[in-house]
């Protein structure tokens, strides 16, 4: 099973969460997740962007760096 770490996750708007994940191979992804009110389990990913090559230039570089270190 592949190891994945959530580097950051927070509500970014009404019924929308923003998150960052780091895979065991060191890939970094940013995602958006939208869901109906009070039904997070019925949501869907609306964004999925790879940041592997450019994560150091993001405002989340510190969180991603820590997740990458934990994934070693």
State which H helix or E strand residue 68 sits in. Answer: helix 61-70
CA dist 13 and 71 (Å) reads: 29
pTM: 0.88
pLDDT in tens, 14-24: 999 999 999 99
Under 8 Å between Cβ of 22 and 68: yes
* Chain centroid, CA 39 distance in Å: 20
pLDDT in tens, 50-59: 999 999 999 9
What's the DSSP call for residue 57? Answer: G
Token representation of residue 7: 């580097």
């Amino acid at each position: 099973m592949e190891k994945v770490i959530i580097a950051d996750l927070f509500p970014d708007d009404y019924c929308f969460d923003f998150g960052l994940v780091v895979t065991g191979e060191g890939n970094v992804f940013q995602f958006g997740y939208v869901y109906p009110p009070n039904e997070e389990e019925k949501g869907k990913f609306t964004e999925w962007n790879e940041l592997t090559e450019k994560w150091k230039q993001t405002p989340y570089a510190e969180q991603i760096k820590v997740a990458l270190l934990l994934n070693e």
